[in-house]
């Protein structure tokens, strides 16, 4: 029996067939749209889901940057966290990056606060935050390597949020909630771990917006079958109410990927392809002007609350 992962409605609206196109496997999967909140979820979770998380999957690749690039990333983070620093401001304009520091500032997070990152991957973000000065960080992920050496103030758990105990001042889902089987169960667990009046940050692709309306099953952020469920804003709001949270804020943070990734899928070009812009290929189908236009359009969509990714601030009541 169908149950929406977000609003818990039992009424499906329509079905879609989407292909695996990150690695170009082109396996097909059915997705169901909720009649109540219009969120989207896979109809049947593949029994071999691990097949779609190979070693070169995005979050499982820990990048080892050179010292200069790492320093510049720290400057960029500092600017987004403090709104200060000329170098960081310039770097932000050159390198697009999720403004996680800005979100931490809005959530009133301090360097000494206890922070959990659910679905941390190999910990690229947490390592950066640790370098910056955050002193109590934990990452949890079922797919990470088991040979991690813990650092003082930075630890990892191989598993799910079910394996986590303690109390936290912030719990982050940085593009991980869409990968879990039961978002309601996960948020109920998060509520037991979070201190009162503190935030869960959910950064996630969302449906019902321009990219979904335009590209449908070729929308790059559908990412079948890894994205098991994708919400609308209404879906997140209803899920928050069901799990003891208040949705205090929504910030849209989409970028030009929603356009060129989806255009590639429409032309049967996977992300992992020699012609893909993902690898800055010279064989890319896009001109510099097109990419510039995509970036400008993404910025405008964010301003119009119509971008395809957003950060949701859920406060524990």
Is the bond preceding residue 172 a cis peptide, omega within 30 degrees? no
pLDDT (0 to 100) of residue 219: 98
Domain boundaries, the chain: 12-45+98-316, 66-95
Q: What is the pLDDT of residue 300?
A: 97
* Structure-block tokens of residue 49: 């889901």
Q: What is the pLDDT of residue 194?
A: 98
Average pLDDT of each block of 10 consecutive residues along the chain (317 residues)? 96 97 97 98 95 76 66 74 70 68 94 96 90 94 74 91 97 96 98 98 98 98 98 98 98 96 97 91 90 95 97 97
Domain 12-45+98-316 belongs in CATH node 3.40.50.150: yes
3-state secondary structure of 57: coil
pLDDT at 281: 73
In angstroms, the Cα distances linking 286 to 26, 280, 296, 315 are: 23, 11, 15, 41
61: CB partners within 8 A, 6+ apart: 55, 122
pLDDT digits (tens, 9 = 90+) for 116-131: 999 998 888 999 999 9
Q: Please state, in angstroms and rounded to a whole number, the distance separating the CA atoms of residues 240 and 203.
A: 14
Q: What is the pLDDT of residues 168-222, one digit of tens each?
A: 999 999 999 999 999 999 999 999 999 999 999 999 999 999 999 999 999 999 9
pLDDT digits (tens, 9 = 90+) for 211-242: 999 999 999 999 999 999 999 999 999 999 99
Q: What local confidence, expressed as pLDDT, does residue 61 receive? A: 53
């Amino acid at each position: 029996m169908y149950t929406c992962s977000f609003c818990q409605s039992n009424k499906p609206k329509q079905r879609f067939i989407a292909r695996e196109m990150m690695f170009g496997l082109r396996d097909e999967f059915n997705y169901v749209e909720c009649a109540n909140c219009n969120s989207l979820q896979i109809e049947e979770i593949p029994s071999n889901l691990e097949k779609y998380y190979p070693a070169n999957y995005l979050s499982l690749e820990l990048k080892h940057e050179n010292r200069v690039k790492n320093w510049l990333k720290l400057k960029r983070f500092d600017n987004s966290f403090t709104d200060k620093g000329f170098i960081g401001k310039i770097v932000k304009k050159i390198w697009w990056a999720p403004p996680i520091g800005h979100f931490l500032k809005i959530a009133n997070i301090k360097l000494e606060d206890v922070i959990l990152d659910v679905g941390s991957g190999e910990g690229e973000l947490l390592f950066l935050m640790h370098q910056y000065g955050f002193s109590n960080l934990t990452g949890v992920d079922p797919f990470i390597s088991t040979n991690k050496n813990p650092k003082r103030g930075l630890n990892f758990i191989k598993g799910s949020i079910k394996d986590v105990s303690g109390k936290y001042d912030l719990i982050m889902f940085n593009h991980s909630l869409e990968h879990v089987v039961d978002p309601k169960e996960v948020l109920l667990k998060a509520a037991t771990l979070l201190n009162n009046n503190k935030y869960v940050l959910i950064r996630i692709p969302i449906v019902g917006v321009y990219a979904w309306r335009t590209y449908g099953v070729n929308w790059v952020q559908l990412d079948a079958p890894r994205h098991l469920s994708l919400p609308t804003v209404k879906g997140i709001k209803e899920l928050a109410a069901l799990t003891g949270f208040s949705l205090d804020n929504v910030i849209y943070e989409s970028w030009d990927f929603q356009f060129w990734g989806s255009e590639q899928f429409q032309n049967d070009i996977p992300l992992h392809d020699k012609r893909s812009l993902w690898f800055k290929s010279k064989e890319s189908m896009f001109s510099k002007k097109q990419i510039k236009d995509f970036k400008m359009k993404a910025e405008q969509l964010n301003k119009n609350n119509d971008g395809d990714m957003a950060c949701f601030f859920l406060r524990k009541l």
